[in-house]
């Protein structure tokens, strides 16, 4: 069979809502019942469109390998965003309980271990084609740092090439649902509790004091309780916020704090690894008796908090969430997740934010829909903010490595975008212009040849494959596709067979290539060899209906009726449209029992 080159970039959809449910993507884990229930509960509670709710399949454990993160989590989310043309429209990615917490790797300031959420925040940047390092932290472009709060803006991709990622989690499903309910009905009432540890020259205490000062400047001084001594903070009444050193403060000796948290309350600590698990802990409540770093962010959720900033591993103090930005941003109208990310220095690092991005009790106004999803970039026909970034990144790389002109790169990106809109004629036009500009382009030629095949222009496809073979005589895909085209379209089996055999050897028995070689043997009447190859093909690619159909046809030729019937049934289960094919009708007639 022909090996297709698929480059998924964009399926254009019109802009809808403004910083609402339409800007949220919910991601669930198919392997986790809790994850599915959490995601669906949140989506219904918040009115998330069904098209914005997806499921990946990954481990139910809290740790995932870097390879599995890329393949099982990041790649499916990236594919969704690309197919929907939603790179700009989606601002927030919400992970439902049951998605892994951390990516395994080395530790230390330049280690490769990271939080899944923090790494996923960089997905937008990666989709543009930019290479992002996995070693150590990456500066967060949305981090406010030392800038005044007046410079902070509601999040959108026009300024920032990241996603804001949070999760919905807790010790159990019931507590996770409670978190969601509180986020949907947040309060503005309550005090902000800030517990320093009596070290006024240490950065953490400096930030806590700065938080109190900034809140006072915003007219909320009477709602701030700042404990600057070495004593643990005690307070009564409702609390809308809490920040401390956690178990790093010798005065804090209880895991659970008996504060009355209002719906919408935010919390966090400077304690490292406080987000290391959301599994129920059987350790004692007294910190003095606990082993290891005892502070756990899930305890805040159990205590009634609505948003928590935590860390899956040691972030070092400079990498923790800054309370002097978090609380002033929140009470100034930023939503829960914006507030945390404005206060988070690094991405690709250890931070995990728990809470609902739509929770915004102090919000007074939102961006217009057209300010978030600004239509299409005319040069690439990709989303207006995403398209120019991708063009710039890929153009620079192609020019630097191969001397390819930026206009040629633009045409290939344009072709990809048109293909995703099923505009094959437009894609062919763009690719023809691209390959006419540069004879060296192998991938666009291969893509163009595939489009010619689909359009029934087989002579053009064969001519392109021959030209590609001159440029890359050992390219298994080119050899395979040319062999298939010659055998099936031209009945030139003598020329096709050695090409298919070479492709099979080079590809190390790729299932699609095995299918091509097997089918050529079938056309030559060598069905015993054909059935061996086709059986190998269906074992290697069990979800490919075309391979099952080929195996069924050849099995029938060898007299193995049962194998033919079973393979045909499987092919039609995968793709019922095959029933309309002429070869299926002929195969059914052949399989009918003799009268």
pLDDT digits (tens, 9 = 90+) for 310-355: 999 999 999 999 999 999 999 999 999 999 999 999 999 999 999 9
Strands in 97-163 per DSSP E: 102-103, 114-115, 138-139
The pLDDT score that the predictor gives to residue 471 is 87
Alpha carbon distance 412, 447 (integer Å)? 10
Q: Which residue from 475, 440, 434, 482 is spatially nearest to 460, judged by alpha carbons?
A: 482
The pLDDT score that the predictor gives to residue 12 is 29
Collapse the DSSP code of 225 into the 3-class scheme (helix H, G, I; strand E, B; otherwise coil) and give the result.
Answer: strand
Q: For the chain, report the end-to-end CA distance as a whole number of angstroms.
A: 35
The pLDDT score that the predictor gives to residue 284 is 52
Q: Where are the alpha helices (DSSP H) in 54-171?
A: 66-68, 75-84, 116-120, 123-127
Alpha carbon distance 533, 341 (integer Å)? 54
Q: Which two tokens stand for residue 501?
A: 């055999």
Q: Are 469 and 442 in contact (CB under 8 A)?
A: no
Q: List residues bridging with 94 in a β-sheet.
A: 26, 166
- Token look-up 């990498």 returns 319
Please give the average per-residue pLDDT across 210-227, as a whole number.
Answer: 95
Q: Which regions of the chain carry the CATH code 1.25.40.10?
A: 376-472, 475-595
The pLDDT score that the predictor gives to residue 13 is 30
- Token look-up 């040069």 returns 379
- Token look-up 């989690």 returns 169
For residue 132, the tally of other CB atoms under 10 A from its CB is 12
For residue 415, the tally of other CB atoms under 10 A from its CB is 28
The pLDDT score that the predictor gives to residue 539 is 93
Please give the average per-residue pLDDT across 244-272, as a whole number.
Answer: 87
* Angle made by CA atoms 434, 435, 438, in degrees to the nearest 5: 95
Q: Are 321 and 268 in contact (CB under 8 A)?
A: yes
pLDDT in tens, 401-447: 999 999 999 999 999 999 988 899 999 999 999 999 998 888 899 99
Residue 403, C-beta contacts closer than 8 angstroms, at least 6 positions apart: none
Alpha carbon distance 476, 484 (integer Å)? 12
The pLDDT score that the predictor gives to residue 8 is 36
**DSSP element (H, E) containing 207:** helix 203-215
Pairing relation of β-strands 351-354 and 307-311? antiparallel
Q: List residues bridging with 308 in a β-sheet.
A: 267, 354
Number of H helices, E strands in the chain: 23, 15
pLDDT in tens, 182-202: 999 999 999 999 999 889 899
231 pLDDT exceeds 80? Answer: yes
pLDDT tier at 163, thresholds 50, 70, 90: very high
Half-sphere exposure of 550 (CA within 13 A, CB side): 31
CATH, domain range 475-595: 1.25.40.10
For residue 322, the tally of other CB atoms under 10 A from its CB is 26
Residue 4, C-beta contacts closer than 8 angstroms, at least 6 positions apart: 450
Phi, psi of 153 (to 5 degrees): -130, 155
The pLDDT score that the predictor gives to residue 282 is 64
47 pLDDT exceeds 70? Answer: yes
pLDDT tier at 232, thresholds 50, 70, 90: confident
pLDDT tier at 520, thresholds 50, 70, 90: very high
For residue 288, the tally of other CB atoms under 10 A from its CB is 8
The pLDDT score that the predictor gives to residue 301 is 96
pLDDT tier at 522, thresholds 50, 70, 90: very high
For every residue of 237-248, DSSP letters joined together read SEEEEEEE-GGG
For every residue of 499-548, DSSP letters joined together read HHHHHHHHTTS-HHHHHHHHHHHHHTT-HHHHHHHHHHHHHH-TT-HHHH
Buried b (16+ CB within 10 A) or exposed e, 570-589: bbbeeeeebeeeeebeebee
CATH topology of domain 376-472: 1.25.40
Q: Is the dihedral of CA 394, 395, 398, 404 positive or negative?
A: positive
Greater confidence (285 vs 332) lies with: 332
Torsion angle, CA of 432/437/442/445, rounded to 10 degrees?
Answer: 10
* Angle made by CA atoms 104, 107, 110, in degrees to the nearest 5: 115
Q: Are 456 and 437 in contact (CB under 8 A)?
A: no
Alpha carbon distance 403, 61 (integer Å)? 46
Q: Which two tokens stand for residue 234?
A: 């005690």
Phi, psi of 576 (to 5 degrees): -60, -25
Residue 168, C-beta contacts closer than 8 angstroms, at least 6 positions apart: 38, 39, 42, 94, 95, 96, 97, 176, 179, 180, 354, 355, 356
Distances (CA, A) of 545 to 3, 355, 538, 571, 577: 14, 43, 9, 4, 10
For residue 493, the tally of other CB atoms under 10 A from its CB is 17
* Burial (0-12, 13-18, 19+ Cβ within 10 Å), 363: middle
Q: Which two tokens stand for residue 117?
A: 């959420």
Q: Which two tokens stand for residue 141?
A: 């472009």
For residue 10, the tally of other CB atoms under 10 A from its CB is 28
């Amino acid at each position: 069979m022909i090996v297709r080159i698929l480059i998924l970039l964009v399926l254009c959809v019109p802009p809808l809502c403004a910083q609402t449910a339409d800007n949220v993507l919910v991601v669930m884990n198919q392997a986790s019942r809790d994850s599915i229930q959490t995601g669906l509960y949140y989506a219904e509670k918040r009115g998330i469109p069904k098209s914005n709710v997806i499921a990946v399949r990954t481990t139910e454990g809290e740790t995932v390998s870097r390879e599995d993160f890329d393949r099982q989590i990041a790649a499916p989310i990236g594919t969704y965003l690309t197919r929907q043309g939603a790179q700009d429209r989606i601002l927030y990615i919400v992970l439902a309980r049951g998605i892994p917490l951390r990516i395994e790797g080395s530790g230390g300031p330049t280690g490769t271990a990271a939080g899944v959420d923090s790494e996923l925040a960089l997905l937008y940047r990666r989709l543009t084609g930019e290479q992002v390092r996995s070693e150590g932290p990456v500066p967060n472009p949305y981090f406010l740092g030392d800038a005044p709060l007046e410079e902070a803006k509601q999040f959108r991709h026009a300024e920032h090439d990241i996603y804001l990622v949070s999760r919905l989690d807790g010790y159990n499903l019931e507590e996770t649902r409670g978190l969601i309910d509180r986020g949907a009905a947040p309060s503005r009432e309550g005090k902000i509790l800030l517990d320093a540890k009596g070290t006024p020259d240490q950065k953490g205490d400096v930030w806590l004091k700065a938080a109190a000062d900034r809140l006072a400047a915003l007219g909320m001084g009477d709602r701030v309780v700042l404990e600057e001594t070495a004593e643990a903070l005690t307070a009564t009444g409702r609390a809308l916020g809490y920040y401390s050193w956690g178990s790093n403060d010798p005065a804090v000796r209880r895991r659970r704090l008996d504060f009355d948290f209002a719906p919408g309350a935010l919390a966090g600590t400077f304690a490292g690894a406080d987000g290391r698990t959301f599994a129920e802990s059987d350790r004692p409540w007294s910190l003095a008796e606990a082993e290891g770093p005892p502070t756990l962010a899930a305890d805040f959720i159990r205590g009634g908090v609505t948003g928590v900033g935590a860390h899956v591993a040691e972030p070092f103090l400079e990498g923790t969430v800054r309370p002097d930005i978090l609380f002033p941003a929140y009470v100034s109208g930023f939503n829960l997740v914006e507030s945390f990310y404005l206060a988070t220095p690094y991405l690709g690092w250890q931070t995990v934010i728990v809470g609902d991005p739509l929770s915004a009790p102090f919000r007074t106004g939102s961006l217009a829909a057209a300010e978030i999803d600004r239509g299409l970039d005319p040069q690439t026909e990709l989303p207006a903010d995403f398209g120019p970034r991708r063009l710039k990144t890929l153009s620079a790389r192609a020019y630097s490595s191969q001397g390819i002109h930026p206009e040629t790169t633009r045409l290939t990106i344009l072709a990809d975008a048109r293909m995703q809109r099923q505009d094959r004629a437009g894609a062919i036009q763009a690719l023809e212009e691209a390959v006419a500009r540069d004879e060296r382009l192998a991938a666009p030629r291969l893509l163009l040849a595939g489009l010619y095949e689909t359009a029934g222009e087989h002579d053009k496809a064969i001519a392109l494959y021959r030209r590609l073979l001159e440029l890359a005589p050992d390219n298994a895909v080119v050899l395979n596709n040319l062999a298939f085209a010659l055998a099936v379209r031209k009945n030139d089996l003598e020329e096709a067979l050695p090409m298919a055999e070479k492709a099979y050897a080079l590809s190390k028995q790729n299932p699609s290539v095995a299918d091509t070689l097997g089918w050529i043997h079938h056309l030559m009447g060598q069905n015993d060899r054909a059935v061996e190859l086709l059986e190998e093909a269906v074992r290697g690619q069990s979800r490919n209906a075309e391979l099952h159909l080929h195996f069924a046809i050849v099995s029938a030729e060898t007299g193995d009726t049962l194998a033919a019937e079973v393979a045909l049934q499987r092919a039609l289960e995968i793709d019922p449209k095959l029933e309309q094919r002429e070869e299926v009708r002929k195969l059914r007639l052949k399989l009918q029992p003799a009268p």
